[in-house]
Amino acid sequence: MEGVTTAIVAFIFACLVWPHLVKVKAQYYSAIALLMLIILFDAIGHMAGDGPLPHVMYVLTAIVQMLTILILVMCVGGLSPRELMGEVSESVNQIRQGGEQKPVLVPLKGEQPMPREEKPVQRQTINLDDDDDDSIQLR
C-alpha cells in the first residue's frame, strides 16, 4: 500500500511542477487533503499493534487511496463526477459490445472492406389523369 501512496504523492508533486495539468483546482486540493488522511490512517494502523484496528485502518487507507486516484483523474481531465460516470458507462458499453467497428479504407492483405450501407429505393406510382383509363404510370 505504501507504493500506491508514493505514486499519489509523486503525481501531486508532478502537478506542482507542471501546473497546466490541473484543470480543476478544488479537486486537486481535495486530493491533497485525502492524501493527508491516508498518511493519518497509516500512522494509526502502525501505532495500534495487534488486534483488529490495524486491519480496519488498512481497509480505510485502501478506500481513501482509491478515492484519491479517482479525484486526481477528474482533476487532470477536468471532469465532474457525473461526467466521469458517463465516460465509464460508455466504456463499459463499448467493451460489452466488442468495441466499435472501424472502417477499413484500404484493405490490408486478406481483409475485406466494410459493406456500404444501401439506401432503400422508394418507388411510387403517379396517375396524371384520374378520369382516363389510359393513364400513364411512372415508376
pLDDT in tens, the chain (139 residues): 788 989 999 999 999 999 999 998 999 999 999 999 999 999 998 888 788 898 999 999 999 999 999 999 999 988 888 988 888 888 888 888 776 666 556 656 666 766 777 777 777 776 665 555 555 566 6
| The predicted structure's pLDDT at residue 106 | 64
* Amino acid at the residue 16: L
Residue 84: which domain range? 2-96
Q: Is residue 116 part of a domain?
A: no
Q: Is residue 132 part of a domain?
A: no
Cell numbers linked to 90: 460508455
Q: Closest Cα to residue 73, out of 59, 57, 84, 89?
A: 84
- Residue 135 CA to residue 90 CA, distance in Å, equals 57
| The predicted structure's pLDDT at residue 72 | 93
Q: Is residue 7 part of a domain?
A: yes
Q: Is residue 131 part of a domain?
A: no
Question: Which residues does 53 contact at the CB level (< 8 Å), separation at least 6?
Answer: 44, 45
Question: What predicted TM-score, i.e. pTM, was given to this entire model?
Answer: 0.62
Cβ atoms of residues 41 and 64 within 8 Å = yes
Q: Is residue 123 part of a domain?
A: no
Residue 132 phi, psi (nearest 5) = -80, 145
Q: Is residue 118 part of a domain?
A: no
Cβ atoms of residues 24 and 78 within 8 Å = yes
- Residue 90 CA to residue 63 CA, distance in Å, equals 24
